[in-house]
Amino acid sequence: MSADRNNFSFYKEAHGTWYIDLPDYPGPKGDLAMVAGADDMLDYLARGGKRVEVEMSEQPFAGALILELVRMGEPGGGAYYKPVNHSIQSVWLCDVTLFALQKFPEMIYFRAIE
């Protein structure tokens, strides 16, 4: 993820699981599931909806919420983030983050696009 902002779409299926919409991802759909706090954050951003577009950057921008890298996950991979000034305590982002963002940034600034 460069200093530029990136937009990602997420959708919630009828059974309640959130997924990131990454048509070029080479792995199984199950890898794209948002779990372990990421689903709670998406519920918050979607405000009861079933789809949400999220703008992300490594640089602060107006109206952005913040995820701060806490530690790299082991042994299952991924990374744990703490939402700054938010009631959600922990968000785990799986290794699909490396496909989408090319790394696990120290800080991720994000907001739902209205």
Provide CB contacts within 8 A for 5, sequence distance 6+: 55, 56, 57, 61
Number of structural domains, the chain? 1
Whole-angstrom distance, CA of residue 38 vs CA of residue 26? 21
pLDDT > 50? residue 2: no
Output the pTM of the full model. 0.82
Q: Write the pLDDT tens digit of every residue in 59-86.
A: 999 889 999 999 987 766 899 999 898 8
Domain assignment of residue 48, yes or no: yes
- Kindly state whether residue 13 falls inside one of the protein's structural domains: yes
pLDDT-derived band at 3, boundaries 50, 70, 90: low
Query: Could you tell me if residue 56 is inside a domain?
Result: yes
Query: Does any domain span residue 1?
Result: no
- Amino acid 51: pLDDT: 94
Residue 80: give the domain boundaries: 6-112
pLDDT at 75: 67
In whole angstroms, give the CA distance from residue 101 to residue 104. 7
* Rounded percentage of the chain residues whose pLDDT exceeds 90: 47
